[in-house]
């Protein structure tokens, strides 16, 4: 991609590009539309191009012409709705907007829908910007990514809000470069494989967290310029970290400079008010009946991967894309032409987008945040699926957090909340997310959700994290969870880093680091995440003692881990579990280690297997089960000896 067009580039878009744009398949629309530095007839300047089919006139205004709408009118390309013009001697950094004259003569200003950079809020002008000036150093990463098999490799995602991870003493934001110099090493040290950024596209309101966007092609100027963000991504790749962006194709905010009623008519939103309005969010829905909206969003996906080398997207609110009435309270329900509640055009777009992106970038991630039981979300489109390669398992999150908030003495009555997820764990390629949504709006932090006294809260959280790491599926954790952020997320303040001065929080952070490194080192915990063969129950039914026992299998014969989770506050001595083979087992990991803040109820010696069958296994062994803790056992071998577990 070359955002700065070649010298003496054609001023007008090609007929073929216009055809693709109106067909809904122009995947590089950011080259055709927007503001591009170029040379025309030997004169340096900027070509502007914008889609405004119902406008009577369009002009470019800015600081270079005193915002005078008569100075630089654009020319309409017949039968296209696209307006084009070249303004000589403009330079990078100049501010601009489009002055739209509607069919009835009204005039107003709009930011460029394809702007590559924007003023820092509350200012709203677009900024002429070149995106071809950064020298990338991540070719090896990109080559390896395209060959990678994410399904059969570790995936540990750190969800990051750039505005509140850390802030400066004067309460200002870290720049992208400053974040790169601090957060990437932190993420690497903890064993994460990816950073997922909450939306970094330009948005006017901090409290929207970026989910109500005005500049889909514009990296937010809160933290610097496009080259600064390229540096951030490049540094992630050079240190082995993938970058995932939150992407919001379901709606956009109504701010006057944004996409709403762009040419005086509903253009990016639906022409029917009840289909356009999102009253719950105060936004407009994209109109997927228009092929030009398909081209806009398709090219936006490709833009972030082409220009910024992004490794994947977490697509927000997919349920609200699929269903007309999901999270969309209206006086009257909406229905499609066949009487159903599915948004058929949006579903068509989802499939088209996934097909196009995977054809272009086979190794990237397309992750659906989808909260319903819609089938085949991660199945290929050729098999009737939506074509994502991952889906957030929000049912698991809801069930396990509901369970963990119960007092241990009451958990026996709700044991199914622990075990139900295994009935569908392999129906999709799941990611298990403890995300920002779980720690805001009065829901409390993960640590504060845990019942009991101070010690029990930390023990419960260590157990929860252990269960997360051993349950089938890839993993995601929102920032601050790794050290036990005690208050819920405050988007205008930095994380409570001073908590690390307290022993319990420091030990929790050490625990989380070691847990993730243990996960990396044990292929059985991730090699068959999405296959039934990777999981086997030993005992799912001990609700009386609130204990579950299961096996995670790797690909190689004999590569397996036995996991024992005790969700009660009792210590169980001489607890018998079935095992699949003879020999001896050693406890490789125990969340009740004193080093992690636990009570030290560990299995210090190798455990000899008995020939007594149990739990449909041919052999068994007796172990000590620590309170509110997870224990992980593996077969003792010549290479795998005692001494790994913390005492």
Catalytic residues: 316, 369
**Burial class of residue 543 (count of CB atoms within 10 Å of its CB; 0-12, 13-18, 19+):** middle
Give the containing element (helix H, strand E) for 230: helix 226-238
What tokens were used for 282?
């105060």
Start-to-end CA span in the chain (Å)? 55
In angstroms, the CA 581 to CA 600 distance is 28
Q: Which residue is listed with tokens 């720690």?
A: 439
| Helix, coil or strand: residue 454 | helix
In order, the DSSP letters of 116-139 are S-BPPTT---EE-----------H
Q: Is the dihedral of CA 419, 425, 427, 432 positive or negative?
A: positive
How far is the CA of 285 from the CAs of 323, 328, 345, in angstroms? Answer: 12, 10, 13
In angstroms, the CA 582 to CA 542 distance is 24
Residues 6+ apart with CB under 8 A from 541: 415
Pairing of strands 312-315, 126-127: unpaired
In angstroms, the CA 482 to CA 468 distance is 13
| Helix, coil or strand: residue 5 | coil
The DSSP symbol for 525 reads: G
Give Dmax (Cα) for the chain.
92
For 329, other C-beta atoms within 10 Å of its C-beta total: 9
Pairing of strands 82-88, 107-110: unpaired
């Amino acid at each position: 991609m070359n955002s700065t067009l070649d010298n003496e580039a054609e001023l007008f878009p090609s007929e073929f590009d216009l055809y693709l744009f109106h067909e809904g398949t122009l995947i590089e629309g950011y080259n055709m539309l927007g503001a591009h530095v170029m040379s025309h007839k030997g004169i340096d300047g900027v070509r502007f191009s914008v889609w405004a089919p119902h406008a009577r006139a369009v002009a470019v205004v800015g600081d270079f012409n005193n915002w005078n709408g008569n100075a630089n009118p654009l020319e309409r390309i017949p039968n296209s709705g696209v307006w084009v013009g070249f303004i000589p001697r403009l330079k990078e950094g100049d501010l601009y907007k489009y002055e739209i004259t509607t069919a009835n003569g009204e005039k107003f200003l709009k930011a460029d829908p394809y702007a590559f950079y924007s003023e820092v809020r509350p200012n709203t002008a677009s900024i002429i910007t070149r995106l071809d000036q950064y020298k990338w150093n991540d070719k090896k990463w990109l080559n390896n990514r395209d060959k990678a098999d994410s399904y059969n490799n570790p995936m540990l995602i750190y969800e990051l809000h750039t505005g509140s991870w850390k802030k400066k003493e004067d309460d200002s934001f870290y720049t992208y470069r400053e974040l790169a110099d601090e957060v990437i090493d932190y993420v690497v040290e903890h064993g994460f494989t990816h950073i997922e950024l909450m939306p970094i596209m330009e948005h006017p309101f901090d409290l929207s967290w970026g989910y109500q966007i005005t500049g889909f092609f514009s990296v937010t100027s809160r933290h610097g310029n496009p080259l600064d963000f390229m540096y951030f991504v490049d540094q992630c790749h050079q240190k082995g970290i993938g970058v995932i962006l939150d992407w919001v194709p379901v709606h956009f905010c109504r701010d006057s400079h944004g996409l709403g009623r762009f040419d005086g008519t509903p253009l990016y939103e639906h022409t029917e008010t009840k289909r356009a309005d999102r009253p719950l969010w105060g936004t407009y829905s994209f109109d997927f009946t228009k092929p030009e909206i398909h081209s806009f969003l398709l090219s936006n996906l490709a833009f972030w991967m082409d220009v910024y080398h992004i490794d994947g997207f977490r697509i927000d609110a997919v349920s609200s894309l699929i269903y007309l009435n999901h999270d969309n309270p209206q006086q009257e329900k909406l229905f499609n032409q066949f009487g159903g509640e599915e948004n058929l055009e949006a579903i068509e777009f989802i499939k088209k987008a996934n097909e196009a992106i995977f054809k272009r970038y086979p190794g990237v991630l397309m992750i659906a945040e989808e909260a319903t039981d819609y089938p085949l979300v991660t199945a290929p489109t050729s098999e009737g699926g939506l074509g994502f390669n991952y889906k957030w398992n929000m049912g698991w999150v809801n069930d396990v957090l509901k369970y963990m908030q119960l007092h241990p003495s009451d958990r026996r009555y709700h044991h199914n909340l622990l075990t139900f997820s295994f009935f569908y764990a392999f129906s999709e390629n799941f990611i298990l997310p403890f995300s920002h949504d779980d720690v805001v709006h009065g829901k409390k932090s993960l640590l504060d959700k845990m019942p009991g006294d101070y010690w029990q809260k930390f023990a419960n959280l260590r157990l929860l994290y252990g269960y997360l790491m051993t349950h089938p599926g890839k993993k995601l954790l929102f920032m601050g969870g790794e050290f036990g952020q005690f208050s819920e997320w405050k988007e205008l303040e930095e994380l409570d880093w001073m908590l690390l001065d307290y022993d319990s929080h420091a030990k929790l952070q050490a625990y989380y680091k070691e847990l993730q490194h243990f996960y990396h080192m044990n292929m059985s915990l991730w090699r068959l995440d999405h296959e039934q063969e990777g999981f086997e129950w030993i005992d799912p039914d001990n609700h009386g003692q609130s204990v579950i026992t299961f096996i995670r299998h790797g690909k190689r014969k004999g590569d397996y881990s036995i996991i024992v989770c005790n969700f009660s506050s009792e210590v169980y001595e001489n607890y018998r579990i079935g095992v699949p083979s003879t020999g001896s087992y050693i406890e490789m990991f125990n969340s009740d280690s004193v080093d992690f803040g636990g009570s030290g109820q560990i299995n210090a010696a190798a455990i000899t297997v008995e020939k007594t069958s149990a739990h449909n296994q041919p052999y068994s062994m007796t172990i000590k089960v620590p309170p509110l803790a997870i224990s992980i056992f593996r077969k003792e071998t010549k290479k795998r000896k005692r001494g790994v577990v913390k005492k």
